[in-house]
Amino acid sequence: MGAIAGWAWSRADRLPPSIAARLAVLSRAARSAGRKNRTVERIRTTGFHEVRFPLRLSLSTSGGPRRVTEIVDLSNGREQRNARWRSSRRVYDAGSGLRSLEDLYAVVAFFEARRGQLYGFRFRDPLDATSGPPGGAVSPFDQVIGTGDGVASTFALAKTYGDEGGEWRRSIAKPVAGTVRVAVDGVEQPAEAWTCDTTTGLLHFVAGFIPVAGAVVQAGFAFDVPVRFDTDRIDVNLEAFRAGRIPAIPLVEILP
């Protein structure tokens, strides 16, 4: 179609009017189809549903962070290690949380609503779902998320993992509504001082409450992990399921 369209524009002055008009229509159709295809691809790439995977099932899933390290053996017996991913990526098997036919049906229904791998969704990590250690209450002093300069009013939620050997800062894009607490220089801030976008993890201070230069900004929160199904197929065998054979239902973390 692209070749026809290009030929139509370059040769239109030498064609009969009826043919030239027809080729011009084809050219416009080709350009319109190209724009439509790009739009569909964009939706497929970034689609995300702000819904959570069934909580009762996520609490029994298995999985955790994954990193990819490239290891090269050197001739002197040493190793050279390179991180291929800048950040870790969490992977889970939701099948391990299935206990009944009702659970299985709930996952299949959820899978269909997400169109398989097409749309991302929220998932609660059974081990790591709050700004502090597991089992502890959320505190406004859990995580340092920035330092004020008297001008900046927006800060991104984050969680830092580390010890004396090193640390890694994880961006938190999906905080749970109603769980975020904020402090500035060790003083918890009232709810009217800030807002938090639970779809992006961005914290905004309103006018009159913007942190002054040097003020330490802290936050506490519960959060979900943005994931998608890592398969477009779920194989169900009821006889095997009743016998205790659980189908694999892989999930993988994504950038929302």
182, 248: one domain: no
Question: Distance (Å, rounded) from C-alpha 161 to C-alpha 90?
Answer: 15
| pLDDT of the residue at 220 | 98
40, 65: one domain: no
101, 215: one domain: no
32, 73: one domain: no
| pLDDT of the residue at 14 | 55
Question: Distance (Å, rounded) from C-alpha 94 to C-alpha 83?
Answer: 27
135, 214: one domain: yes
- Residues counted in the chain: 256
144, 179: one domain: yes
Segments forming the whole domain that contains residue 212:
130-223
122, 249: one domain: yes
3-state helix, strand, coil in the chain (%, to 5): 30, 30, 40
121, 246: one domain: yes
Tens-level pLDDT at each residue, the chain (256 residues)? 544 444 444 444 555 666 566 656 666 665 665 555 544 444 445 699 999 999 888 888 899 999 999 999 999 999 999 998 888 999 999 888 788 889 889 999 999 999 999 999 999 999 999 999 888 899 999 999 999 999 999 999 999 999 989 999 999 999 999 999 999 999 999 999 999 999 999 999 999 999 999 999 999 999 999 999 999 998 888 877 777 777 889 999 998 7
* Strands lying side by side in the sheet with 143-147: 143-147, 216-220, 181-184, 187-188
Question: Distance (Å, rounded) from C-alpha 5 to C-alpha 37?
Answer: 17
Q: Where are the alpha helices (DSSP H) in the chain?
A: 2-11, 17-46, 55-58, 101-113, 238-242
92, 29: one domain: no
185, 115: one domain: no
Domain count, the chain: 3
| pLDDT of the residue at 9 | 43
238, 114: one domain: yes
> To 10 degrees, what angle do helices 2-11 and 17-46 make?
140
Question: Distance (Å, rounded) from C-alpha 31 to C-alpha 122?
Answer: 37
Question: Distance (Å, rounded) from C-alpha 131 to C-alpha 174?
Answer: 12
121, 134: one domain: no
| pLDDT of the residue at 32 | 60
